[in-house]
Amino acid sequence: MLQLNYIRENRDTVIERLAVKHFKEIGLVDEIISLDEDRRKIQSESDALSAEANAAAKQIGDLMRQGKKEEAETVKSKSSGYKEQVKQLLDQLGTIEAELNEKIVQLPNLPHQSVPAGVSAEDNEVVLSHGEIPALSEDALPHWELLNKYDIVDLELGVKVAGAGFPIYKGKGAKLQRALINFFLDQAAEEGYEEVQVPILVNEDSAFATGQLPDKEGQMYYVGNDNLYLIPTAEVPVTNIYRDEIVKEAQFPIKHCAYTPCFRREAGSYGAHVRGLNRLHQFDKVETVQLVHPEKSYEVLEEMSLYVQGLLQKLELPYRVLRLCGGDMSFTSALTYDMEVYSSAQKRWLEVSSVSNFETYQANRLKVRFKNADGKMQLAHTLNGSALALPRIVAAILENNQTEKGIKIPAVLVPYTKFEYID
């Protein structure tokens, strides 16, 4: 959530940066500023009236102690309406604050100055590419056919048990999944991330605090009887560990990683681009989250990007890094890098990670603060990154590593899988 004082003091900048995200409701900015002016005016009137009421009460007490009962009654008569007036002002204040909050949460985060002003994914900026794209034989198969050939993931059985988008991993497919999860967690530990196990259901406050509500309400699975949401990413419960907390500056950077299943409704997603493991309703992911000092957040963002790239290099997958344009960014992000791996049989790039800096946007909702060197309260910066999401990694490993002998497992995973080939 944007900070109210920043909106008030930097109106033109806010409007300019929102335009980069192609935000349609620009008029909200002036509505918020106007409501804030009304709020401050009523607050000032309420404070002044309360001060008069307190002064009158003190004067009445002094007069009564001096035995000047008649004078005290006169003052009391004049001040008798203060309490009701203050109540009316506070009622007005509550109404305005509720409307103000309703409008301010509709504003997305402001994009960083380096964000390209594009409209869609086609306008994202390729920052770098790494690795050679494998040259496969003409009879190379896409991963959804490899799943059947080697009987490692059953999509149809998943439909029977739950529905489309809920695959069942079997045999070496299940072991490959477990190997990737353990590999990613071990790598995160070496990088200084503390592992946590977190709930996969969160309450409304948690979903709001990290920006899933109200922006992504339709994309989450909702458990109505208990008013809980299945998490779309471990970012939500992990970041909420620090909701309403005052952390110590010396704790920065606070680094956590977590493995969880993730759930996304992905309503309206159809076609060949979502076939097989390309897009699922339930998938596994290892997430990294950092809370950092504001002065360090963009340095940390680059470090997190390099860390994810290192994982892809160890898996021997060709990849590229994109800086997302304004029109393709999430509601909450200030700057996002997407990592994509090349799927040789599909002949296209597949997103496998997003690494984002949210600056103070999430922290303002979370109310996660620290005391700076001057002893003043300041909002932390939050960042997160997929490290990594498994389905498309598995798809790329299967497609890029298919040989006459079978699917060759990347060397770094063999100690985890205990086998070198899926055959």
Integer Rg of the chain from CA: 28
271: left (phi over 0), alpha (psi -120 to 50) or beta: left
Cβ-based neighbours of 338, under 8 Å, separated by 6 or more: 124, 321, 322, 324, 351, 353, 354
Q: How far is CA 230 from the centre of its chain?
A: 15
Residues 78, 345: Cα–Cα separation, whole Å: 85
Given a cut of 90, whether residue 58 has pLDDT beyond it is no
Q: Are 335 and 301 in contact (CB under 8 A)?
A: yes
Which H or E run contains 394?
Answer: helix 390-400
Cβ-based neighbours of 238, under 8 Å, separated by 6 or more: 196, 198, 256, 258, 287, 289, 384
Q: Alpha helices, DSSP H only, in 133-213?
A: 143-149, 155-161, 171-190, 204-209
Q: Which residues of 159-191 are buried (b: 16+ CB within 10 A; e: fewer)?
A: eeeeeebbbbbeebbebbbebbbbbbbebbeeb
Query: What three-state secondary structure class fits 327?
Result: helix
340: left (phi over 0), alpha (psi -120 to 50) or beta: beta
Query: What three-state secondary structure class fits 260?
Result: strand
- Looking at CATH, the fold of the domain delimited by 4-104 is given as Helix Hairpins (1.10.287)
What pLDDT digit, counting tens, does each position of 176-188 carry? 999 999 999 999 9
DSSP state, residue 386: E
**Angle, alpha carbons 262-263-267 (nearest 5°):** 145
Residues carrying CATH 3.30.930.10, the chain: 121-422
For residue 392, give Cα distances in angstroms to 8, 19, 76, 104, 285. Answer: 43, 33, 75, 36, 11
Q: What's this model's pTM, rounded to 2 decimal places? A: 0.92
Look at residue 273 in the predicted model and tell me its pLDDT.
65
Which H or E run contains 42?
Answer: helix 27-65
**Angle, alpha carbons 291-292-297 (nearest 5°):** 115
Q: Which of 395, 354, 412 is closest to 169 using CA atoms?
A: 395
Q: Which of 272, 329, 313, 361 is closest to 116 using CA atoms?
A: 329
Given a cut of 90, whether residue 62 has pLDDT beyond it is no
What pLDDT digit, counting tens, does each position of 112-165 carry? 999 999 999 999 999 999 999 998 988 899 999 999 999 999 999 999 999 999
For the annotated binding site, the residues are 233, 264-266, 287, 351-354, 384
For the annotated binding site for L-serine, the residues are 233, 264, 287, 384
Residues 129, 121: Cα–Cα separation, whole Å: 17
Residues 329, 335: Cα–Cα separation, whole Å: 8
Question: What mean pLDDT is predicted for residues 286-291?
Answer: 98
For the annotated binding site for ATP, the residues are 264-266, 351-354
Mean pLDDT of the chain: 94
Q: Which of 271, 285, 277 is closest to 154 using CA atoms?
A: 277
What pLDDT digit, counting tens, does each position of 341-355 carry? 999 999 999 999 999
Residues carrying CATH 1.10.287.40, the chain: 4-104
Q: Are 152 and 402 in contact (CB under 8 A)?
A: no
Question: What mean pLDDT is predicted for residues 238-261?
Answer: 97
Residues 18, 25: Cα–Cα separation, whole Å: 9
Residues 385, 380: Cα–Cα separation, whole Å: 17
The structural architecture, per CATH, of the domain 121-422 is 2-Layer Sandwich (3.30)
Cβ-based neighbours of 266, under 8 Å, separated by 6 or more: 165, 219, 274, 279, 280, 281
What pLDDT digit, counting tens, does each position of 33-42 carry? 999 999 999 9
The pair phi, psi for residue 258, each rounded to 5°, is -155, 140
Residues 49, 79: Cα–Cα separation, whole Å: 10
Residues 110, 333: Cα–Cα separation, whole Å: 8
What pLDDT digit, counting tens, does each position of 68-112 carry? 888 878 877 777 787 788 889 999 999 999 999 999 999 999 999
Look at residue 268 in the predicted model and tell me its pLDDT.
52
